[in-house]
Structure 1
């Protein structure tokens, strides 16, 4: 079992250009997959929930660095009026494939879609954090359909979600948004997913390890801003106090990795990942400074917290006199990051 969090890290080195995202529609596919849970092993839908981007015929500019988020607008509640709440972070989106026209369309990996993506009751998560492939500028009719399975995590938590020998159903109020590289809204979908059912679960629930990870609101959109010559000469640093909080009843490890191969901007400018370093400060455990990379790297190995929260400061920084930053075009560069906690 693992827990993942996606955040954004931004380098502000100047101006932002605008993108024409008109004439793009954002639609939901016609199927509603069934998530039926029959054991403590959890479940995954057989069918897909599909998100669709459509562009009508005609010459229109491409849309780089687009992103899709999903958030809950309320609790995942039982439909029987009992008030039972299905834990949001136990439901995940798993991207499977893309389809549509014209061929060839970008794949899940080419777009840069993370998997799995657990829901978060208190905020949005990204199904597409920062697409590495722009929406096409083809003159043809363009339809990009992204197919997702939904999964319910295994675990003893399911014991409290069943209703004896009866089946208990749940509905999840979801809101999907697609934005362009300048964070301008392209489309929005409000949708209530009504096809979650927990059946009678036989046998005792499994004994499980408990652990969690949380990124503070401020650290979830980390910013390194270069405004003065000294920022380039001496290096730039920002610290988010109590930016990372973990809770665990077992020894654990936290890793970080970038979901894109480079920092990028809506103007298609690029910067290498390793211009930015990361380290944790304060807290308890063995901490490891790293340069950002697409490879998951451990940043802390800690002992059990005995189910009490332990917080770390997150420091993002650059080294002085990095020629790559001196030569960078003024722009807003960003990259999505994944923090992951696993037991050890």
Structure 2
């Protein structure tokens, strides 16, 4: 009899312990998408934390995850692509300090603050936070999230007066990645953008007219001693519907003259800079190999311009004792969608 009672008591203790560390996510409204530019509903999802004397729960470090529970559908049977939705942390609030005397804040919790796309597998909102949630008494705090819908012509496919239902599972984990609480939260989304869908971005790379012919000229002893260079502003422009890479390569190993004199193309260095920020995006010695001179993980829906500088090294012996001729070569610039 005692053995039976002990087994029941152990199960009850486990249940009470788990209930002392809980989350209670809820929505504060809905998400209307009225424009092909997309939409954001600020502070749409609140995630309150409620903790009451949870010693031994291994919550000195913890994580918070979310996932889409099921396909995002409306009554017309249209299925909205989950990856077009995303979370972004708006704020963390709370007036109580934890056992370490620290108030809840972004700096103390160290959550992910970038845009986090929705998906059907778990994504971290907080990954192994150092902010201890192991408490001797009652504690609460709130995390608020904006929900955004990516803009684009694709929205026309999902245009409907019938709302889409978005169901999410949000889970709290302790330092051993044991589930402390798991809750479902839902919100409604209506997709009915007005106006004309935007035209898809055409991938293109354009060489400015002034940058199609580059002349590096040695005229004085100082040119031979110090090298020569030429910078071309807005030499290359790129538009891309996705992330991209810009590469450059020489068609031939040598620059040649009309009399068939040759100079190795690798005597010339090319430096590329973002025109707006002047940040260096590439610094290469020219060769017949394809080399990256600009990369981006995001699309360039408006033209992005790059400045190019061509330069030779000072005191390079290969340029001495040459007849006065023009050495020419051809460069190939390529845009590679990522």
- Contact map agreement 1:34 1:47 (CA 8 A) in 2: no
SS at match of 1:63: coil
- 1:54 is matched with 50
How many angstroms apart in 1 are the aligned matches of 2:51 and 2:242? 50
- 1:319 is matched with none
Distance 1:343 1:33, change over 3 A: farther
- What is the CA deviation profile of residues 101-128 of structure 1, one whole-angstrom value per residue up to 9, with x for unaligned ones? 414522124322222111113x111111
Within the candidate set 195, 201, 218, 2:194 is matched to 201
How many angstroms apart in 1 are the aligned matches of 2:115 and 2:39? 14
- Contact map agreement 1:34 1:46 (CA 8 A) in 2: no
Shift of 1:60: 6.1
- 2:216 is matched with none
- 1:134 is matched with 132
- Contact map agreement 2:31 2:190 (CA 8 A) in 1: yes
How many angstroms apart in 1 are the aligned matches of 2:138 and 2:68? 32
- 2:122 is matched with 124
Structure 1 segments unaligned to the other structure (5+ residues): 1-20, 211-247, 254-284, 288-297, 305-341
- 2:35 is matched with 39
SS at match of 1:157: helix
| Corresponding position: 1:155 with 2:145 | no
Distance 1:251 1:30, change over 3 A: closer
SS at match of 1:46: strand
How many angstroms apart in 2 are the aligned matches of 1:62 and 1:184? 9
- Contact map agreement 1:26 1:51 (CA 8 A) in 2: no
How many angstroms apart in 1 are the aligned matches of 2:143 and 2:153? 32
- Contact map agreement 1:69 1:128 (CA 8 A) in 2: yes
| Corresponding position: 1:144 with 2:141 | yes
Shift of 1:141: 1.6
Shift of 1:134: 1.8
Shift of 1:143: 0.4
Distance 1:84 1:109, change over 3 A: farther
Shift of 1:343: 7.1
* TM-score (norm: length of structure 2): 0.51
- The structure with the greater share of residues assigned to helix is 2
- What is the CA deviation profile of residues 182-224 of structure 1, one whole-angstrom value per residue up to 9, with x for unaligned ones? 111100002332x2111242123242479xxxxxxxxxxxxxx
Distance 1:54 1:168, change over 3 A: same
Structure with the larger RCO, 1 or 2 (CA within 8 Å, 6+ apart): 1
Residue pairs, 1:270-281, within 5 angstroms: none
Residue pairs, 1:254-269, within 5 angstroms: none
- 1:102 is matched with 96
The two structures, once aligned, show a CA RMSD in angstroms of: 3.6
Shift of 1:180: 0.8
Distance 1:49 1:66, change over 3 A: same
Residue pairs, 1:166-177, within 5 angstroms: 167-177=161-171
How many angstroms apart in 2 are the aligned matches of 1:110 and 1:22? 24
Distance 1:301 1:201, change over 3 A: closer
- 1:84 is matched with 78
Distance 1:109 1:119, change over 3 A: farther
How many angstroms apart in 2 are the aligned matches of 1:99 and 1:249? 36
- Contact map agreement 1:96 1:108 (CA 8 A) in 2: no
Shift of 1:87: 1.0
- Contact map agreement 2:18 2:181 (CA 8 A) in 1: no
How many angstroms apart in 2 are the aligned matches of 1:55 and 1:209? 52
- 1:311 is matched with none
| Corresponding position: 1:75 with 2:71 | yes
- Contact map agreement 2:62 2:172 (CA 8 A) in 1: yes
Shift of 1:46: 3.3
Within the candidate set 108, 111, 114, 2:109 is matched to 111
- What is the CA deviation profile of residues 75-96 of structure 1, one whole-angstrom value per residue up to 9, with x for unaligned ones? 1112x2x221111111111111
Bigger Cα Rg? 2
Shift of 1:28: 2.4
- 1:190 is matched with 184
